[in-house]
Structure 1
Amino acid sequence: MKIIKQVGIIFSICCISVLIEQYLPFAFPASVIGMILLFLLLLTGLLKIDHIREKSDFLLANMAFFFIPAGVNVINYLDILKVNWLPLLLICVFTTVITFAATAYSVRFTMYLLSRGKGGHHE
């Protein structure tokens, strides 16, 4: 019964986020709305992590499984990928470098803030 309740909570948040998406005057992904909604519910304490822990752990452990349909669907677009392989490769390399840099600077900034909060100095 506990698992059914957890699945119900997660799917309810997903359904609410889809409804919110439909009523927004601009395009915004329901999945992002759902993550924001879940974050706010956890932040305010209206939802406790124990209410969804087992099911969320299961979903995280099996996340790769959910990417299989998207990966298989790429086969439908091989002709487009063959024509545009160079721009796509450049975009992938460029965005990977930007992601690495943003992550590195975020970690550095977080370490700086933590060391400043403890009164120490970290370089």
Structure 2
Amino acid sequence: MRQVVIILGYLLIGEIVVHLTGLKMPSSIIGMILLTFSLEIGWIKLKWVAGLSHFLTKNMAFFFVPPGVAILLYLDLIQSNFWSIIIASTLGTIIVFACTGWTHQLFMRHKNSFKKNKNA
């Protein structure tokens, strides 16, 4: 029960942040970022949310059914804008991959330099 309360609590916090700030970002993403931050700094222990997290990850395909149905409902709109969607999706994917790779490299360099300074 604690796992559900923690995860739904962070979803609620994300909803509150979006409502109060007017951010144009999904509240679930904000909640997930806040939960990740809380896990990193130790406010929340991984074992407190591990069971539900594993369950949700294993059943993730189930959560893609509603968007799949929506795609079928708007098939005519998708067909009329097919190339725009393909180009935007491809460029967006390339940009996300590049930013993720650069960010990972930056963090790894920072982590390695922190270890060197700590050992010196």
Q: TM-score range by the shorter chain?
A: 0.7 to 0.9
Q: Which structure has the larger Rg over C-alpha atoms? A: 1
Normalised TM-score (structure 1): 0.75
Q: Gaps spanning 5+ residues in structure 2: where?
A: none
Task: Kindly report which structure 2 residues correspond to 1:1-123, keeping only aligned pairs within 5 A, or say none.
Answer: 4-106=1-103
In structure 2, C-alpha distance between the alignment counterparts of 1:8 and 1:106, rounded to whole Å:
32
Q: What TM-score do the two structures reach when normalised by structure 2?
A: 0.77
Paired residue type of 1:16: I
Identity of aligned pairs, percent? 34
The number of residues matched between the two structures is 116
Residue type matched to 1:76 in 2? L
Q: Structure 1 CA distance, aligned partners of 2:113 and 2:52?
A: 38
Gaps of 5+ in 1: none
Runs of 4 or more above 4 Å deviation = 103-119
The alpha-carbon distance between structure 1 residues 33 and 114, as it changes in their structure 2 partners (threshold 3 A), is closer
- How has the CA–CA distance of structure 1 residues 79 and 102 changed in structure 2, closer, same or farther, with 3 Å as cutoff? same
